[in-house]
Each structure stands twice: as structure tokens, then as C-alpha cells.
Chain A
Amino acid sequence: METFTNLTSQLSILEFSYLVASILFILGLKKLSHPATARSGNLWAAAGMGAAILFTILFHKTNVQLADGTYESKGIHNIGWIVVALAIGSFVGWYASVKVKMTAMPQMVSIFNGMGGACAALISLMEFPKMQNHFASLDASHMLNGEGIAILLGLMIGGVSFAGSMIAFGKLDGRIGDIKHPVLRIVNLTFLVVMLVALVLILFMKPQTDNNLPIYLFAVAALVYGVTFVMPIGGADMPVVISLLNSFTGVAAAMGGFLYGNQAMLTGGILVGSSGTILTILMCNAMNRSLLNVIIGAFGVAGAGGTEAADKTVKEISLSDASILLSYSQKIFIVPGYGLAVAQAQHLCHELDNLLTSKGVEVKYAIHPVAGRMPGHMNVLLAEADVPYEKLVEMEDANNEMNNTDVVIVIGANDVVNPAAEDDPSSPIYGMPIIKALDAKNIIVMKRSMAAGYAAIPNNLFYHPKNRMLFGDAKATLQKLVAEIKSL
């Protein structure tokens, strides 16, 4: 294959593979946004990625200046080590993704996003000294050029994305609490301005050989900013934050593409950057909030909202009453929440559903767009338990059917059925669309205790005359309920 040893043909094959990769990324994203084609879309994008990686290793060339001033085109070295690194990363990544529980999926996505951000930041950290030494040898007066801007932005955005993703992971996993203080807002804003000023100052710095302290300090600052950026945002808003950081990492990757003149990195990164931003806004819309509102962290800010419910009483329902009520109903809606998933009770929930359906009861699931820990997360969790797709009803359609529903069973959900979102302007979730459980004839709330939901807002639904509580762990309670209904 003599043609493949020719420099021009190798480079054109490489660029052609980047073109194919870019097309596959675009088609992959397009297919990912339709339920029927989503899975193949993911595979298409993966194929594009594989091709881009393979051809980069085989055919990438860099011009290296020789001692006599002429340039020589050099291919990729250290291929052995690169393959080892690829193998380690592939194994760990594959193993972690196969082993992770579906409930912990948001945390996993957050970690992977952070890895991408760290990768982009490391690239910048290695390229900056090279660029500075090059300019120093030319005796340039500053480093203000496309390369310099791309390196510094890549470092800043990648660093913020890495540190922010790790904090988001910690919050979702319940390892890190929220630190909410109004001062933090001012600190963050100041920090951002300082970082941008530092970026400009470094660009205007006179390049000196091996003067790398400024860039290291800049990297540390980006990491600290990533932490303080995510810290005040409430745990319930982490999905939005992950989506935002996801688009950040996209932009950081695109900076690398700009630096190397690499079209695959450029298109891939920018596509994720822009589609990620739109996705973030769509998620905010689903909660009827603005992105700014999320970032500033209005959710559950100390002292905010919710009427006190301290001296009100709740009514309990016994298992036998509950089983009779359910068995003789015509139409039931199940409102699942994260509590259901945490208790791993999806399968039991499906069993209850089958049992009641066999008795002629119409059972459906009302899915709030942000039920679970991420939009669409609940659909994934119920799909895992083989609940048929037709039974999952989106919020708006479910609300239209509530008037002729006999019982709404709320399992491990709280904020998504909180009427304060509709009638209490002082509540932090005021304006968020909810599932209107109160429109149904009866409500049963299955809950471990009277503790507040993830957003820490009191819920008046629990005290409503229509509602009765069935306390206990979702899994154990469902088990008993199924047994009770069977024995009827």
C-alpha cells in the first residue's frame, strides 16, 4: 500500500476521517433526540469517535523545527504508551458504567464530564509552556494571539468544569451539603472578574522561557472557582448544573480544536457546547425557572418560603383499607419519585400495577418531567422494571385525567406534588408545574417519615383532608400491600 506511506495521502485520510466523525456526531445527536432512533444515534457517534481516535494515532503529523532551522513532519510517538492509556481508560470506564446502578446514573455522568474537563485543562497546561518558550525564543513582547486565547480559555473552562463536576457528584451522592450564603454570590462574581482579568494579563505578559508560575496559579484559581460556583447551588438543581458543565466541557474541547486546527475537536466540542446550553435551558423551562435563578441558587435558600405546617395533623391509612380502596377503584395514577428508586421498589411497583390491572383497575404512571434526579431519569428507572411505555403519562396529560381518577398513589415523591407551587407565592418552588394530585378523589402518600423533600420545602398536601399517609419504607410497604391485595 504505497499510497498510505505518502505524506499527502496520509494527511488527507486523516482530515477525511475528521469530516466523517463530524458528520457522525451531528447525525448521532439528531438521532439521539428521537426515542425510536436514540440508541443507534449513540452508536453512530461512538463510531465517529473511534474513527477519529484511530486515524489520529495512525496519521497525525506535527511540524517540528530542526536544529538547522528546517521543518520536519513527525508522526505520533509513544504509541505503546498511548495504547496502554487507552486500554486502562476503556476498561475502567466500561467497568464503572456497567456496574453503576441506574439510580446513581446522574453521579456517573457528572464524573465522566469532569474527566473530560480535566483532560482539556491538562492539554492546556502542557501546551502553554511550549507556546511561551516558542514566543520567548522569538523575543515577542506579548502572547496575545489565537493560540494563547484558546489555551487559557481551555484551561479555565476545563478546570471549572472538572472541579464543578466533582462537587456536583458529591452533592448528588449526598457526600457534600449545600453552603448557602448571600456573600458567596459576591465572592463568585468577584472571582469571575478576577479570573478574566488574570487571563488578559497573562496574554499581555512578556514571554520568558520556563516562566510557568502564572499559568499554574491560573489553573488553581480555575479549580477553586469551579468549587465555589457549584457550592451554593441546591442539590435538587444538580441536573441543570451537570448539563451546564457538560456544555462547558464541550467549549473547552473546542478550544483544543482551535489550538490544533483540529476540525473533529472543533465541531464535536461546539456542537456539545451549543446543544448542551439549549438542553440546560429546556430543563430550566420544565421547572419554570430561569437559568440565572438556578445559578444564583434561589431554591431552598435559608429562610425562604413555605407556610408552617407544624401543628397540623395527618391521617394515616391501614394496609387493609388501602388494599380495598385500590382494588375497588376504576382508575389509579401512580406518582413515582426518587424515593421509589432509592428503595429499589420499581419492580414491586410494577407487580402492584399488574395485580390491580388483572382486577380490572386502570393503572397509569404520572411522570413529572423532573422526577428522579434528572429529567427523564424516572422513565429510565421504570423502563428498567419493564413498565410498558404506554403506561407512562406525561405530566400535562396526567393532569387532564386527574378529575376522573379515583386514587393517586404518591410513592417517594414530594416536591412534584406540592400544591405550594400553585398557591403559595412565598414558596421557593412557586410557579413550578406540578402533578395535580388534589384533583383526584383520594390520595395515598407512601413515605418513610414526615421529613421534607429534597428541596427541603414543607408540603401541605400531606395535611389535606383527601390525603392519607401510608408510612414506611417504599419497598416493604409495597410488598405488604401486594400481599394484602392478593389475600382479598
Chain B
Amino acid sequence: MEEVFKFFLEYKEMIFIITLSVFLGIEVISHVPAVLHTPLMSGSNAIHGVVIIGAIIVMGHAENTLSLIFGFVAVILGTLNVVGGFVVTDRMLEMFKKKKN
């Protein structure tokens, strides 16, 4: 039990951020119309591409060739997620906009 308390104290800021973000995520999209389900999924798909920052950190501090290669691949995959995700979403939403004009 004491371990749990220690863990909580050590990571309290992150646990706070995680908990509040969970509620925020739910609140932010709770009234989305069905029409936007696909673009929203695609857009949030792009946002979790933020994992690329981790890949950059790993690659930026790689000490041997193997981790450099792994990091290289990870950065490419992360970029695909980010760029592909945002561009696809934009293409979908562009069509919604056209009909307003």
C-alpha cells in the first residue's frame, strides 16, 4: 500500500493532467453530430501522432547505430501518422465547405 502512496506522490502532476484530460476529452466532443464522426476520428488520429516527439527524442539521443536506425524508422512512421492524418482530414472537410458557397 505504501508503494502506491509513494507512486502517487511521485507522479502526482502527471496523474492530475491525465485525469483532467480524460474529462476534457469527453466534454469537448460530446455533442458532435454523426456527420462529423469520420472527420473527427481522422483528426484525432492525427493528434495522437504527437507520439513523434518521443521518436525525435529517442533518435536525438541515440548512442549506437541500431537505435539510430530504429529511431529513424519511428520518426518516419510518426510523421506518416501526423502529416497523413491532417491532410486526409482536411480533404474530407474541404468537401463540407464547398457546398456552403
**Cα distance A463–B27 when bound, in Å?**
46
**Cα distance A115–B37 when bound, in Å?**
21
- Chain A contacts for B61, CB-based, 8 A: 62, 64, 74, 76-77
Asked if A57 lies at the interface with its beta carbon under 8 angstroms from chain B, I say: yes
- Chain B contacts for A100, CB-based, 8 A: 88
Check A108–B84 contact: CB distance below 8 A: yes
With A98-B91, A270-B21, A379-B35 known as contacts, the answer to whether A122 contacts B60 (CB < 8 A) is no
User: Which of B18, B52, B75 makes the CB contact (< 8 A) with A254?
Assistant: B18
**Cα distance A52–B78 when bound, in Å?**
13
- Chain A contacts for B14, CB-based, 8 A: 257-258, 261, 266
Asked if B1 lies at the interface with its beta carbon under 8 angstroms from chain A, I say: no
Check A109–B36 contact: CB distance below 8 A: no
Q: Which residues of A from 41 to 77 have beta carbons under 8 Å from B? A: 41-43, 45-46, 49, 52-53, 56-57, 60, 62, 64, 74-77
Check B59–A85 contact: CB distance below 8 A: yes
**Cα distance A371–B17 when bound, in Å?**
37
- Chain A contacts for B18, CB-based, 8 A: 254, 258, 266, 270
Q: Digit string of A86-111 for contact with B (CB within 8 Å is 1, else 0)?
A: 10111011101110101001101101
Check B95–A380 contact: CB distance below 8 A: yes
Q: Chain B: residues with CB nearer than 8 A to chain A?
A: 3, 7, 10-11, 14, 17-18, 21-26, 28-62, 67-68, 70-100
**How many of A's residues come within 8 Å of B, CB to CB?**
117
Q: Which residues of A from 252 to 286 have beta carbons under 8 Å from B? A: 252-254, 256-276, 278-279, 282-283, 286
Check A126–B87 contact: CB distance below 8 A: no
- Chain B contacts for A33, CB-based, 8 A: 28-29, 31-33, 36, 40
Check A35–B37 contact: CB distance below 8 A: no
With A109-B42, A122-B70, A389-B100 known as contacts, the answer to whether A90 contacts B83 (CB < 8 A) is yes
Check A32–B21 contact: CB distance below 8 A: no
Check A62–B57 contact: CB distance below 8 A: yes
**Cα distance A78–B14 when bound, in Å?**
29
